A and B are shown apart, each in its own frame.
Chain A
Amino acid sequence: MLILAIDTSCDETSAAVSRDDHILSSVVYSQIEVHKKWGGVVPSLARINHEQNIDNVINIAFNRIKKNQKSKIKNQKFGKITLNDIDAVAVTVGPGLAIALEVGIRKAKEICEKFNKKFIAVNHMEGHLLSAFIKAESKIKNQKSKIKNKEDIANIENLNFPGVGVLISGGHTQIVKVNAIGKYEILGDTLDDAAGEAFDKVAKMLELGYPGGEIVEQLAKDGEPIYQLPIPMLKSHDYNFSFSGLKTAAMYFLRNYSGVKDKQFISDFCASFQFVLIDSIRRKLEKCLTDYPARIACGKALAGGPANFILCGGGVMNNLAIRKMIRQTAKKFGIPAYFPEKKYNSDNAAMIALAGFYKAKRNEFVRDINKVDRLPNWEIDDPIKN
């Protein structure tokens, strides 16, 4: 099955083409054109102007398949793939920024009507959740020949359900129970700020610029977590997160700190902040894994046996300290942790193609595309039938 996937959930305009569960091409607007045109700086207008970018991004997605075919998959016997050849369009309908989602949905509807294709409505967070399983067609051979670490090669077919998903990005921080592909329950969520946002805001407080999450991580490497900040939600008995209190505490600490704010101080402060943030995620994750299969939390019974794996996704998974924490936690519980390739951590359409493929396998196509509307608050565990 050939799928064209589109994601315009927030800042990024992206498109991907996939054959079954293999990605043939994946294009993210900010990573192509803009870098050439404006020398790396994404102007604010381009950031949300999906309308202007979408056709271009889809075209590039198709054009890139050709390149892949010629250079890497010589034995495949098909010509240039066009819109006509695809079987379905998978598009993010939520969660996200309403006006941005609309652009992708409109484009998907247009293509489906014009070329008589099937429509798959995908949840952006399910995309992130499955992003560890994105396999680029060109890379499969390589992967098979030199498997370094079994954990790195995740295979969706061999998953032993249930497991938990950890989704951390600029806009989300969630722990999700994965009962099967397509069957999820949110166990924990942030009550206010997302983890990625907390990183960016602390960066701003330290005048490191925006987005500064990555700079905080870099500086933290040269520092020691010697400053005491409160661990958020220490006493809460659920699996939820809250980072706004940590943000305020960090601000107050900086305001009251009378010493010299030199590079060492900033590095140590970044290390302290990162330590506390990651530690709070670790505590909740461990709590989830420990509570399996018993107890009731968040009003939901954690039925169905112990967690057998951890699935990770979202832009903040670029943070090596978070990856390390999750790996260590997984090890402690004797289960594997699966991470996406670096380029699939942040928003992309490849993950939408993959989630779309599994929906198609379950025959979850949209019956009446006229009824499809953006769902800006669509939670991953809300089984909305479009």
Chain B
Amino acid sequence: MEIVSVDISKKKIINIAIKVLKNGGVVIYPTETCYGIGVDATNAKAVEKLIKYKGDRRGKPISVAVSDITMVKKYADLSPAAENLFNNFLPGPITIVAQGKHKVDSNLESDTGTLGIRYPDYGLILKIIKKFGKPITSTSANVSNGKTPYDVQADILDRISLAKKELIDLIIDAGVLPHRAPSTIVDTTLNEPKILRQGEFIFDILNTKTYVSNSVEETIKIGELLIKNYELRITNKKPNCLIIALQGDLGAGKTQFVKGIARGLGIKNNIKSPTFILCSEYLAPSVIPAQARTQRTRSLDSRFRGNDSTRRILFHIDTWRMESEKELLDIGFEKMISSGNVIAIEWGEKVFGILKKIEKRKDVKVIWVKIETIGENKRKILC
């Protein structure tokens, strides 16, 4: 068994790993979730060795990791839903269950011939798979029913027998990984995609769309579209409080997106960045969308003092200056949660813990929006 640190030259690691895989060896490797264990997915002897390591699988299938969508298509049939997931979210912590083409070892596919596919968001591993040219197995590096492995020594080596240790040929050690839950598993072979296991992935993956924005104005329009589509689905008289959690680098266009949300809500005020003030609030016309289009916004502040029971507020929060999650509560977050209100939060990932808890409330709906910068003016927006 050889252990290499990810800190050494990437080229060297790739070469060592490929040599091991070609010889039917077993490689433990880091991913964006936990440590995975990989063998050549088309090599029956190698898969046998893997199953020996994992222990009693009770016929459970084993996922494979690929380096790109072209590779996937050689080994599985992708439904349109599966292809969408690939384009929208991958690489990332999602395992897609698709119909296999029986080109990998039969022990990896399920009894019904489906195959779990991972496209990990971990550059080094993608390079290894790409150069190897074939999928490798992608199951967590623990023995069956063992602790999810985030640390090579404590979670793997200290917990297995000498015999099992001898089955391992190479460990690529990236230290202690952030404790992210194992991937979200989605079955795409059915008419309606179904989540088999919910991981830490924050997007509502079955309902999330990807947009490409080529300008600030387009980003605003996408924000407006999001809220208008959501409004159309409001049927009950007491709508949920909608929380829109925005992720994206400095300058990605989060405030611009909120401008669109405000526009969609019928708010006429200019939406300025709330970075300094932490939270701005704007009064929107009443909840019912039909009214929202016809009713003119009255002076915001005079309305604030009235006893308008249908009043609806857009809160625009920026957590950029916040040092801890708790500051979100300090600015009165819990009081903002009320039927019909919309709370847009920039840098939503900074208050992930609070939002995860709030999300469980029946009167709250959380939508995650991710804005990725792909060019000076070009953005990929997931929402």
Partner-B contacts on A (CB < 8 A): 10, 44-45, 48-49, 94-99, 169-171, 189-194, 196-197, 200-201, 204-205, 210, 244-245, 247-252, 371, 373, 375-378, 382, 384
Contacts and interface: CB of A to CB of B under 8 A. Distances in A.
A201 B322 CA distance: 14
Contacts of A45: 327, 330
Interface of B: 216, 249-251, 253, 255-256, 269-270, 272-273, 275-282, 299-302, 304-305, 321-324, 327, 330-332, 376
Which of B253, B270, B273 gathers the greatest number of chain A CB atoms within 10 Å? Answer: B273
A280 to B, nearest CB: 16
A170 B332 CA distance: 22
Given A371-B305, A375-B304, A10 B273 contact: no
B276 A171 contact: yes
Q: Across chains A and B, which 8 residue pairs bring their CB atoms closest together, nearest first?
A: A171-B276, A248-B251, A170-B276, A44-B323, A99-B332, A251-B251, A193-B273, A375-B301
Contact of A377 (B253, B255, B301, B327): B301
Contacts of B305: 371, 373
A98 B273 contact: no
Q: Is the interface of B mostly helix, strand, loop or mixed?
A: loop
Which of B275, B299, B331, B332 gathers the greatest number of chain A CB atoms within 10 Å? Answer: B275
Contacts of B299: 382
Contacts of A95: 277
A10 B276 contact: yes
A193 B324 contact: no
Contacts of A169: 276
A98 B304 CA distance: 12
Contacts of B249: 251
Contacts of B253: 248
A97 B331 contact: yes
Contacts of A201: 250-251, 275
Contacts of B304: 373, 375
Nearest to B216: A245
Contacts of A247: 250-251
B321 A378 contact: no
B358 to A, nearest CB: 18
B317 to A, nearest CB: 10
Contact of B272 (A96, A190, A384): A190
A204 B251 CA distance: 12
Nearest to B331: A99
A190 B250 CA distance: 18
Given A192-B255, A247-B250, A377-B301, A197 B273 contact: yes
Contacts of A205: 250
A98 B275 contact: no
Given A194-B272, A251-B250, A251-B251, A97 B277 contact: yes
Given A375-B301, A376-B277, 16 more contacts: A10-B277, A44-B322, A44-B327, A94-B301, A99-B279, A169-B276, A170-B276, A192-B255, A192-B273, A193-B255, A193-B273, A194-B276, A201-B250, A247-B251, A248-B251, A371-B305
